[in-house]
Amino acid sequence: MNEGKYLYCVINESQDRNFGPVGIGNGQDEVHTLCFRDLACIISSSPMTKYVISRENLIAHEKVIEEVMKDYNAVLPVRFCTIATSIEEVRNLLMKKYNELKNLLRSMDNKVELGLKVFWQNTENIFKEIGETNREIKSLKEKLAKDPASPSLKEKVDLGKKVKAALEEKRKNEGEEILDAVRSKYVDVRHTKILGDNMVFNCSFLVDKTREREFDDLIEGLSQKYKDRLKFKYVGPVAPFNFAELVIKWGEEQNE
């Protein structure tokens, strides 16, 4: 199988540097810089193959980037399983996209990504609240309870739709309350897909490193404030995957 070059991230660097045998895959190839002027791509040798999207491979990819982050204030992560056919192809990418990549690095300088997922502790209590506080739903439930005949399919569907809409409204309001509490501490935010009825909030924040401790303290304060109602899952700092991940299309050398 032909050998290519696996890309991890792009940094500001003009000197050759080796990060050790920590490359993705079983080979544990040496991870090192490939420089063009004062720009460098972190790469390792790799077979020209498509890596399985597994926990092991994703962690290996991210660990290399985390290692680089220890010494560099700005890192542009490259999407998982991006492989060039040669060193020349990587260098050509850096040359063609030089100004664009330098601008992106400037915008990510001294910034990290922090992730926050928030869940309701007890979803049954939330549905109970909706049934007790939403007048329309409460009235409909009482009507159905009084009717000796079984509720029709249409009535069941209508009730289900109203409960779902009320749940979304409650989720939105409680999520906005959390967002408002940290709004002054982040540079940017990305909303990620909500998974399951019990998830309230799923966001990634771009935070300046000088405010990271303040942001941590705010999240800890919110976690304590809502401990009987909400469960907080807070991760980071990590590379800004949700804000500056490079998607390389060989031949076009585009990034998104």
What is the predicted pLDDT for the residue at 208? 95
> Is residue 20 located within the same domain as residue 77?
yes
pTM across the whole model? 0.84
> Is residue 130 located within the same domain as residue 171?
yes
The two tokens of residue 146 are 């009084």
What is the predicted pLDDT for the residue at 163? 79
Coarse DSSP helix, strand, coil percentages of the chain, rounded to the nearest 5 percent: 45, 25, 30
Mean pLDDT by 10 residues, the chain (256 residues): 88 94 83 96 91 91 94 95 94 95 96 96 86 72 65 70 85 93 94 91 96 95 95 94 91 50
Query: Omega of the bond prior to 240 within 30 degrees of 0, cis?
Result: no
User: How many C-beta neighbours within 10 Å does residue 75 have?
Assistant: 26
DSSP letter, residue 71: T
> Is residue 9 located within the same domain as residue 52?
yes
What is the predicted pLDDT for the residue at 143? 65
Domains identified in the chain, total number: 2
Which of the listed residues 92, 108, 124 is the one where a domain comes to its end? 108
Cβ-contact 238, 75 below 8 angstroms: no
> Is residue 87 located within the same domain as residue 120?
no
> Is residue 104 located within the same domain as residue 155?
no
Domain of 205? 113-238
Residue 249 inside a domain? The answer is: no
> Is residue 148 located within the same domain as residue 195?
yes
> Is residue 140 located within the same domain as residue 211?
yes
> Is residue 41 located within the same domain as residue 27?
yes
The two tokens of residue 174 are 């409680």
> Is residue 185 located within the same domain as residue 155?
yes
> Is residue 131 located within the same domain as residue 59?
no
What is the predicted pLDDT for the residue at 255? 41
Residue 247 inside a domain? The answer is: no
What is the predicted pLDDT for the residue at 224? 96
> Is residue 127 located within the same domain as residue 234?
yes
Which of the listed residues 108, 137, 152 is the one where a domain comes to its end? 108
> Is residue 100 located within the same domain as residue 117?
no
Residue 234 inside a domain? The answer is: yes
Residue 21 inside a domain? The answer is: yes
Burial of 11 (0-12, 13-18, 19+ CB in 10 A): buried
Distance separating alpha carbons of residues 19 and 65, to the nearest angstrom: 10
Whole-Å CA distances, 94 to 10, 40, 58, 88, 113: 9, 8, 24, 10, 24
Residue 254 inside a domain? The answer is: no
Cβ-contact 186, 206 below 8 angstroms: yes
